[in-house]
Amino acid sequence: MRFSKMQVMTAMKATGMVPVFYSSDLETSKNVVKACYNGGVRAFEFTNRGEYAHEVFGELTKFAAKECPEMILGIGSIVDAPTAALYIQLGANFIVGPLFNPEVAKVSNRRLVPYAPGCGSVSEVGMAQEMGCDVCKVFPGDVLGTAFVKGLKAPMPWSNLMVTGGVKPEEANLKGWFDAGVTCVGMGSNLFPADLMKAKDWAGISKLCSDALAIIQKVRK
């Protein structure tokens, strides 16, 4: 299902959280997407991290269109334009990368698909914005820290920042990031603990998502 750029941005800002997940197993991926959806998630990043990941993603977008109609699926770990084009063709509604590649921005802009590149400096964020990136990913978050976000937002308050790396579903951690000025956070393994995944406790993952979203709403006030 294709969502507009505005719908993608609205979902990221409204919920404040984008789960980040990869599995080579399609059924596991479907269950995780559904669990997150049941927990209130509306923007989900599947990562391009394994062989044939695009085949899993292609089936996942079809599944989500039927079972999770309001879920906006995007693709992460994109470092080059050909891969971005492949995933856009497979239904990706946003592109995320660990780095900033102007060629990915061109491909994404041509199709009006949001591109959130990984940026580790103020200059990178500035260049990404010049290339039409509405959201920039602060990465790695655990290295750069909340002070980087706060420092950047002072002279560039218009910046929409999504931080990934070092984000935990805990009040103190989330309050730190949102107080610093992030638009949303990307959260990976902390939302998908190994014990819950092994037990296929999808309800447990739904609860982790809903609890994290509730904390975000609280600390934003």
Per-residue pLDDT, 181: 97
Per-residue pLDDT, 207: 98
Percentages helix, strand, coil for the chain, rounded to the nearest 5?
55, 15, 35
Statement: the pTM of the whole predicted model exceeds 0.95? yes
Rounded Cα gap, residues 180 and 148, in angstroms: 8
Rounded Cα gap, residues 88 and 126, in angstroms: 25
Per-residue pLDDT, 139: 96
Per-residue pLDDT, 182: 98
Per-residue pLDDT, 221: 74
Helix axes 122-130, 141-153, angle to 10 degrees: 70
Cis geometry, peptide bond prior to residue 82 (ω within 30 degrees of 0):
no
Domains and CATH numbers, the chain: 5-211 (3.20.20.70)
Sites in the chain below the pLDDT cut of 70: none
Residue type, 150: K
207: left (phi over 0), alpha (psi -120 to 50) or beta: alpha
Rounded Cα gap, residues 167 and 25, in angstroms: 25
Per-residue pLDDT, 1: 81
Per-residue pLDDT, 190: 94
Pull the structure tokens for residue 14.
Answer: 């409204």
